[in-house]
Chains A and B, each alone.
Chain A
Amino acid sequence: MECQRPVFATPDTSHLSPQDFDLVYEPAEDSFLLLDALESEYFSLRKLRPTICVEVGCGSGICITFLASMFGPGACYICTDINPTAAKVAAQTADQNKVLIHPIVCDLVNAINDQLRGKVDILVFNPPYVVTPSNEVGNGGIEASWAGGEKGREVIDRFLPHAVQLLSLQGILYLVIIKENRSDEIEDKMRQFGLHMTTVKNRRAGKENLYVLKFTRVT
C-alpha cells in the first residue's frame, strides 16, 4: 500500500504588498495549479533524488519556494526571471519561508544552459501563455508575465529546445499552458526532441482552461 503523501503548505507571501504586484506577477490560478501538480507528483519526484531543480520565470518565487520546502536542503533551487524585480522578490519569498534559493536575472535559461546541460532533475516553467500581438512579447516588466504572442506560444517555443538540453536522464519538465497554446503541437515538437508528454492537471479558471504538462525522456 502506498503511504500517505505529506501535505505541503502554500508558501507564505504575506511580506509582499500590492505595490510589489504592480511590478511582479501575483500568484494566481495558474501558479496554484502548478503547486497542486508538483504536490501530486511528490512520490515520483522524490524517487529521482533530485539534486538540481530549476524554475524559469519565477515571478514572486512561490513555485521554487514550494519545491524547496518539498525537497529541502538535499537539492539546490535555481530560478531565473527576465524581470529583475521578480528575482529580488523571489529571494524575499524564499527568506520568508526559510528556504534557500538561487535567483538569476537572465533570458529563459541562456546564462546557465551550457553548465547545466543534462544535469537538471526538476525543471518548471509557468510561462507567459496569453495570446497577444507579437509586438507585446519581450517588452519586460509586468507585461512579460503574460504576453505570449501568437497562439501564446512565442516564449514557450523558444524555451522548449533549451529544456531538452537541460534535463538529466531522469529529469522531468513541468510546463503550464492554456488550451489556446495547442498542447498537440507542443507534444509533436517535444516528441521530435525525444520527450514524452502527459497531462498532470487540468482546471478551468474563469475563461482560462489551464493544463500542467509533464515531459520525460523516452527511454
Chain B
Amino acid sequence: MKLLTHNILTSNIIKGVTRGFPLKIKSSRLEVKEVDFNPDFILRILPKLDWSALRQAATEVGYGNGLPEELPSSLEGDDSLQKTIHNILLQVEIVEGELECPETGRKFPIQNGIPNMLLNEDEVS
C-alpha cells in the first residue's frame, strides 16, 4: 500500500464513525520500490490530496523528513520537493502493517501490500 492509497481511505464505513480520516498507520514491513518520476502527475494529483494527512502518514512510517508543514502554493520548478513527494506517494510501500480508525481504534490489516477494509456485518453503517 502506497501512501497515495492511505490518503484516500477512511473508516467512515463503520457504524457511527464520522471522523475516520486520516487512518493511523503502523508499518511492520516497508519497502521502497523504484517508480518512474512523473512530475506532471505529481503536480496534478497534489491538489486532490490532503497534504497534512500525507505528511502525517509519511512521518508515522519514518519518511517525514523534508516535508513542509504547508505545501507551497506552487511546486513548479521545485525539483527536489517534487521528488521527495514522488517518493512518499508512490515509492514507499507498506507491505505488512495495520491501519487504525482514529475514532474507534478498529484495526484494518495491510497484507501483501493491500489494505483490507472489510467489516463484519454488525459494524456496517
Contacts and interface: CB of A to CB of B under 8 A. Distances in A.
A150 to B, nearest CB: 20
Interface string B92-118: 000000000000000000001111111
A195 to B, nearest CB: 21
B38 A110 contact: no
Contacts of B118: 82, 84, 105-107
B116 A84 contact: yes
B117 A110 contact: yes
A18 B41 CA distance: 37
A82 B124 CA distance: 14
Given A73-B38, A74-B38, A106-B13, A111 B114 contact: no
B63 to A, nearest CB: 18
A52 B41 CA distance: 10
B48 A102 contact: no
Nearest to A72: B38
B71 interface: no
B13 A110 contact: yes
Given A112-B8, A114-B21, A115-B10, A103 B114 contact: yes
Contacts of A106: 13, 116-118
Interface string B1-30: 110110111111100000001000000000
A108 B44 CA distance: 25
Contacts of B7: 115
Contact of B40 (A52, A74, A88, A115): A74
Contacts of B36: 73
Interface residues of B, number: 30
Contacts of B119: 107
A76 B4 contact: yes
Contacts of A175: none
A111 B45 contact: no
Contacts of A10: none
Given A111-B9, A114-B10, A115-B9, A104 B41 contact: no
A51 B45 contact: yes
A104 B40 contact: no
A87 interface: yes
B21 A115 contact: yes
Contact of A111 (B10, B35, B90, B113): B10
A115 B35 CA distance: 24
A115 B8 contact: yes
A105 B117 contact: yes
A116 interface: yes
8 contacts: A49-B44, A74-B44, A76-B4, A84-B116, A102-B4, A104-B5, A105-B114, A115-B7
Interface of B: 1-2, 4-5, 7-13, 21, 35-36, 38, 40-41, 44-45, 48, 50, 90, 112-119
Given A73-B41, A115-B9, 7 more contacts: A88-B112, A88-B114, A102-B2, A106-B117, A110-B13, A111-B10, A111-B117
> Shortest 7 CB-CB distances between A and B: which pairs?
A111-B117, A106-B117, A115-B8, A105-B116, A73-B38, A110-B13, A102-B5
